[in-house]
């Protein structure tokens, strides 16, 4: 079977992520009236969009760096990547739902689960890339460190789902805290 290079996988992923961002911005509606109070009413939608855009941007940047560390694009890596893209494709729905209902525990929990599944899926892709580097102790240690960060973030997102039923504001705080963990992109390990 012919070997697929990383450029096709990266191009496909970039295209899907671009569509996700486009759908999110299309769901962002301007206020019905050109007044400051009307603008404040759409504020939660805009903040939800901004947060989700930041999360998608962080995933995209880290995905870009990770893909350049891939040695072999095999079926396991492709399916792991498709799993990630599937969960990411649900971010526009969860973003819109939470933006319109940011005080409702179900909407906040839905957003938490959506991002938790995305982060878990990213960890699966990372694990597949790490599997390819298990013979290189420095790269294995590097991947293990990033995988731990992915798993901590996934755990926090998933824990914030039931927490939303106690305090939606605590969950919202976690949603802001996690991107701060990823603000700096991972080190570029390009092998080209």
Is residue 53 included in any domain, yes or no? yes
Question: Does 51 fall in a domain?
Answer: yes
- Where in the sequence is the domain holding 21, given as residue range(s)? 6-181
Counting residues of the chain whose pLDDT is more than 70, the rounded percentage is 93
Confidence grade of residue 4 (pLDDT, cut at 50, 70, 90): low
Q: Is 183 helix (H, G, I), strand (E, B) or coil?
A: coil
pLDDT score of 187: 56
121 close to 87: Cβ distance less than 8 angstroms: yes
Query: 110-160, pLDDT tens digit by residue?
Result: 999 999 999 999 999 999 998 888 888 888 888 888 899 999 999 999 999
Distance CA(116)–CA(144), nearest Å, equals 19
Note whether residue 1 is domain-resident.
Answer: no
The label of the residue with tokens 């525990």 reads 105
* pLDDT: which is higher, 49 or 182: 49
Q: What integer is the mean pLDDT of 30-55?
A: 92
The verdict on residue 192 lying in a domain is: no
88 domain-assigned? yes
In this prediction the pTM is 0.89
Q: How far is CA 24 from CA 14, 90, 111, 145, in A?
A: 15, 10, 13, 31
For residues 27 and 95, the answer to whether their CB atoms sit within 8 Å is yes
Contact between 53 and 21 under an 8 Å Cβ cutoff? The reply is yes
Q: Which of 37-41, 49-53, 142-146 has the highest mean pLDDT?
A: 49-53
User: Residue 161: inside a domain, yes or no?
Assistant: yes
Q: How many domains does the chain have?
A: 1
Q: What are φ and ψ of residue 79, in 5° steps?
A: -70, -35
Residues 6+ apart with CB under 8 A from 123: 147, 150, 151, 154
pLDDT of amino acid 58:
93
* Integer Cα distance of 73 and 4 in angstroms: 6
Q: Give the pLDDT score at 144.
A: 87
Domain-located, residue 61: yes
Average pLDDT on 163-176 reads: 97
- Where does residue 121 rank: exposed (0-12), middle (13-18), buried (19+ CB within 10 A)? buried
Residue 158 vs residues 30, 112, 192: alpha-carbon distances, Å = 31, 6, 36
Return the number of other C-beta atoms located less than 10 Å from residue 40's C-beta.
10
3-class secondary structure, 15: helix
Q: What is the mean pLDDT of residues 163-174?
A: 98
Domain assignment of residue 189, yes or no: no
Is residue 2 predicted with pLDDT exceeding 50?
no
CB 62 within 8 A of CB 186: yes
């Amino acid at each position: 079977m012919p070997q697929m290079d990383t450029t096709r996988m990266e191009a496909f992923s970039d295209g899907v992520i671009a569509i996700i961002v486009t759908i999110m911005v299309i769901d962002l509606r301007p206020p019905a009236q050109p007044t400051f109070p009307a603008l404040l009413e759409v504020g939660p939608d805009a903040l939800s969009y901004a947060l989700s855009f930041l999360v998608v941007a962080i995933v995209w940047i880290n995905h870009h760096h990770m893909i350049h560390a891939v040695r072999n694009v095999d079926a396991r890596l492709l399916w792991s990547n498709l799993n990630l893209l599937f969960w990411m494709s649900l971010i526009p729905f969860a973003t819109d739902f939470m933006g319109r209902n940011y005080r409702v525990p179900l909407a906040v929990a839905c957003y938490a689960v959506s991002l938790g599944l995305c982060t878990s899926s990213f960890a699966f892709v990372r694990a597949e890339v790490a599997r390819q580097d298990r013979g290189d102790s420095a790269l294995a240690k590097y991947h293990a460190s990033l995988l731990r960060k992915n798993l901590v973030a996934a755990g926090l997102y998933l824990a914030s789902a039931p927490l939303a039923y106690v305090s939606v504001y605590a969950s919202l705080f976690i949603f802001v805290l996690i991107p701060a963990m990823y603000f700096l992109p991972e080190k570029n390990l390009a092998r080209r």
